[in-house]
């Protein structure tokens, strides 16, 4: 509950229920730091290098930095980590990075070998060796292999971790790229198999072929031995769309081809491709997620839908046989319907069953659904745990009822299990304990937001925690794009934060998906303030419960969570003692003009529309930072190679706050893409910078 009186409020701090807006905002029409948007401009990079040097000295020179960096790197490079696999044919494939292979190797093994503590792996592609031979810092971005032999694969590679990739055809037997094979130049896009001599391709075909969001607008069919310029167009979207693509459902006996058109981040159209390139649009809500498996069509609703004489609430999962649907039937079966405390986390299928992963107050429950003449039978998955974060996926959905299951929580090392539906699963792999978890406990609490909404949050702390208001506490949040923040084992948090006496908290604020579409949609566009009010309520609750106090309370978030950090800094500066703002959005006046920004207007709004800029400007940190407000110290981190969220956001915010005399620190990794790092060493360095900064600010005087 929110406190009615706190000593620190009486002492003169601003009310936590009333955001502190800027009294001297940055110029709305003139941006003196626009030049920092020149990503690889020499002037901008000189500015970056100068600030990197300062942060490296200030943070890297701290004796704690090297110890944290070494600890994190040891965890990231450990051969005791679980090598997660995907089955193709008779082999189990894995991509692996470690100390000897910082960029990684693509490899495979058999199930018999995989069950062993130290499996023998067959290395198919060494990314370190490839990068060295070609003089490019290649980062693995995935593989699409052609059934049934899985001997030819389309490999995606990224320079430095960017979203833009190249695609090359690879021969698994020869362990080499195919000379004269399919090859797509660097761009945001994809290539997908149709057959050995034909692929679908969506990419940058030249002027006008990309959307305003920077993704492909056109899908084509490309024949082997012909130049990309001669690929045949099968669908064109609009420049205002998010993206367009085509793919084949290659399930044996159920082969079908589809064209996907993303209208906005949350709306889409799906077309079934027939003979003569005829495209038939599936008559389904644009806001629904559509899927097919074998004979079934599934529809996950983001909005209420009246169909077949029934009203289905948002968050429902429906199913119908695809042939019946195409013939005009609308008699859907309900596979899941949300309640006040449940939402659908995910769904999938094995050969004979469907399974759903349900969140009940942010705790996973797995159910198996069996189709029959009298509808669908629902049962709990045999052997599924009742506590912790549980994930499930099919091993080989076309061939068996086997599944992989992962189980973890903040203190319990992740386990990987394998089972067959109806039988008890077996543990295949388990992560070792990278830190001693015995002194700690996990609790779930609920804060009350400004409008009365109960907001859950998880807290990890020592069992003997003293509620004296003096515990260094790190509060993490995201709150966007229907992403749920569920408990997971983090050896880095345990080793670098908990072990030093810190408290770790994760807030399940609105904008996320913890309670389905309604939780997400409650904080869209004009209602974005609900996410920030929720986060502030969690902070207030921690203070009211005497877990911590503002000078000991740090916050951290990245991407959309970076926007959250920016707004918490400028709106609620009195609540926090330190802020780590990673790969953030911060300039909401120009975000839609930078890289993939236009694709997020369904989440935030369109700043070019006066009525939408009216609410957007309230949640644009860059436009609201002021010289005469006492902000908590902030660490901004980003990546030059991030081609999703433009590094200009962090650069400009840093420059503005620095010029105003605020306590700000900046570090920009030259590589890394939106993840911020291109290999384990870079990840360890970025993590060590953040933890060292937090310890410098929050542990002072302890």
Residues with catalytic function? 559, 674
CB 654 within 8 A of CB 666: yes
Q: How many CB atoms are located within 10 Å of the residue 688 CB?
A: 25
Q: Is 310 helix (H, G, I), strand (E, B) or coil?
A: strand
- From first CA to last CA, the distance across the chain in angstroms is 28
Long-range contacts of range 90-98, CB-CB < 8 Å, 24 or more positions apart? 91/150, 93/143, 94/121, 95/140, 96/121, 97/679, 97/680, 98/680
CB 106 within 8 A of CB 97: no
Q: Give the distance from CA 203 to its chain's centroid.
A: 23
Phi, psi (rounded to 5 degrees) for 526: -65, -20
- Distance, in Å, from the CA atom of 346 to the CA atom of 354, rounded to the nearest integer, reads 11
- Distance, in Å, from the CA atom of 245 to the CA atom of 208, rounded to the nearest integer, reads 16
Phi, psi (rounded to 5 degrees) for 666: -140, 140
DSSP letters spanning 431-482: ---SS--TTEEEEEEEEE-TTS-EEEEEEEEETT---SS---EEEE----TT
- The angle formed by the CA atoms of residues 249, 255 and 257, to the nearest 5 degrees, is 55
CB 679 within 8 A of CB 102: yes
Q: Where are the alpha helices (DSSP H) in 279-358?
A: 322-326
* Radius of gyration over every alpha carbon of the chain, rounded to an integer in angstroms: 25
* 8-state DSSP, 489: -
- Distance, in Å, from the CA atom of 471 to the CA atom of 307, rounded to the nearest integer, reads 54
Which is nearest to 336 in space by CA: 348, 326, 324, 325?
348
- Distance, in Å, from the CA atom of 473 to the CA atom of 476, rounded to the nearest integer, reads 10
Burial of 371 (0-12, 13-18, 19+ CB in 10 A): middle
- Distance, in Å, from the CA atom of 316 to the CA atom of 335, rounded to the nearest integer, reads 8
CB 261 within 8 A of CB 271: yes
Residue given tokens 């006046």 in the structure block: 589
Q: How many CB atoms are located within 10 Å of the residue 226 CB?
A: 10
Entry field: residues in the chain: 702
- Distance, in Å, from the CA atom of 321 to the CA atom of 327, rounded to the nearest integer, reads 10
> With the C-alpha atoms ordered 382, 385, 390, 395, is the resulting torsion angle positive or negative?
negative
SS3 of 601-656: HHHHCCCCCHHHHHHHHHHCHHHHCCCCCCCCCEEEEEECCCCCCCCHHHHHHHHH
Percent of residues in the chain assigned helix, strand, coil, to nearest 5: 25, 30, 40
Q: Where are the alpha helices (DSSP H) in 102-180?
A: 111-114, 127-134
Whether residue 148 is preceded by a cis peptide bond, meaning omega within 30 degrees of 0, is: yes
Measured N-to-C along each axis, helices 42-55 and 648-659 cross at an angle, to the nearest 10 degrees, of: 70
């Amino acid at each position: 509950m929110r406190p009615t009186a706190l000593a620190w409020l009486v002492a003169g701090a601003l009310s936590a229920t009333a955001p502190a807006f800027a009294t001297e905002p940055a110029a709305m029409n003139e941006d003196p730091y626009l030049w920092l948007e020149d990503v690889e401009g020499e002037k901008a990079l000189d500015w970056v290098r100068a600030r990197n040097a300062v942060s490296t000295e200030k943070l890297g020179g701290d004796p704690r930095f090297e110890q944290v960096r070494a600890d994190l790197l040891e965890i990231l490079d450990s051969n005791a980590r679980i090598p997660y696999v995907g089955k193709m044919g008779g082999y189990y494939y894995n991509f692996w990075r470690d100390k000897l292979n910082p960029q990684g190797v693509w490899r495979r093994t058999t199930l018999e070998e995989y069950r062993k503590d130290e499996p023998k792996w067959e290395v198919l592609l060494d990314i370190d060796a490839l990068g060295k031979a070609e003089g490019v810092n290649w980062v693995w971005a995935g593989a699409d292999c052609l059934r049934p032999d899985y001997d030819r694969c389309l490999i995606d590679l990224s320079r430095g971790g960017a979203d833009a990739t190249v695609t090359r055809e690879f021969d698994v037997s020869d362990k080499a790229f195919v000379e004269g094979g399919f090859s797509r130049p660097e761009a945001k896009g994809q290539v997908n198999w149709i057959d050995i001599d034909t692929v679908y391709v969506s990419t940058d075909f030249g002027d006008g072929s990309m959307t305003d969001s920077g993704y492909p607008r056109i899908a084509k069919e490309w024949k082997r031995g012909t130049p990309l310029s001669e690929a045949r167009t099968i669908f064109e979207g609009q420049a205002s769309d998010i993206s367009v693509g085509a793919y084949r459902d290659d399930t044996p006996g159920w082969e079908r081809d589809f064209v996907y058109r993303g209208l906005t981040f949350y709306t889409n159209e799906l077309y079934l491709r027939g003979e003569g390139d005829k495209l038939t649009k599936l008559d389904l809500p644009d806001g629904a997620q559509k899927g097919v498996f074998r004979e079934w069509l599934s529809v996950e609703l983001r909005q209420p839908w009246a169909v077949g004489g029934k009203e289905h609430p948002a968050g429902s999962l429906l199913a119908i046989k695809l042939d019946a649907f195409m013939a005009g039937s609308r008699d859907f079966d309900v596979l899941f319907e949300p309640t006040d405390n449940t939402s659908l986390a995910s769904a999938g299928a094995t050969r004979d069953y469907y399974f759903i992963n349900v969140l009940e107050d942010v705790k996973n429950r797995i159910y198996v659904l069996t189709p029959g003449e009298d509808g669908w039978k629902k049962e709990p998955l045999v052997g599924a745990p009742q506590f912790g974060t549980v994930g499930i996926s099919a091993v080989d959905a076309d061939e068996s009822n086997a599944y992989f299951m992962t189980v973890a929580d903040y203190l319990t090392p992740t386990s990987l299990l394998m089972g067959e539906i109806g039988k008890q699963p077996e543990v295949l792999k388990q992560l070792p304990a990278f830190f001693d978890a015995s002194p700690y406990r996990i609790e779930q609490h609920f804060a009350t937001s400004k409008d009365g909404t109960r907001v859950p949050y998880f807290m990890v702390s020592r069992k003997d925690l003293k509620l004296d208001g003096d515990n260094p506490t790190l509060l993490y949040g995201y709150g966007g794009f229907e992403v749920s923040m569920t408990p997971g084992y983090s050896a880095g948090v345990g080793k670098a934060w908990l072990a030093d006496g810190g408290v770790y908290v994760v807030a399940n604020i609105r904008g996320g998906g913890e309670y389905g579409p309604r939780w997400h949609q409650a904080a869209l566009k004009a209602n974005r303030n609900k996410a920030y009010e929720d986060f502030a309520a969690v902070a207030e609750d921690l203070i009211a419960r005497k877990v911590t106090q503002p000078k000991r309370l740090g916050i951290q978030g990245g991407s959309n969570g970076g926007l959250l950090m920016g707004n918490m800094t400028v709106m609620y500066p009195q609540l926090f003692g330190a802020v780590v703002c990673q790969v953030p959005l911060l300039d909401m006046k120009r975000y839609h003009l930078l890289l993939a920004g236009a694709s997020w207007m369904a989440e935030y709004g369109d700043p070019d529309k006066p009525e939408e800029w009216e609410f957007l400007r309230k949640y644009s940190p860059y436009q609201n930072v002021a010289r005469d407000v006492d902000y908590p110290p902030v660490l901004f981190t980003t990546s030059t190679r991030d081609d999703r969220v433009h590094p200009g956001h962090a650069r400009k915010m840093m420059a503005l706050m620095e010029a105003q005399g605020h306590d700000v620190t900046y570090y920009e990794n030259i590589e890394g893409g939106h993840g911020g790092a291109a290999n384990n060493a870079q990840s360890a360095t970025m993590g060590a910078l953040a933890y060292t900064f937090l310890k410098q600010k929050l542990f002072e005087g302890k």
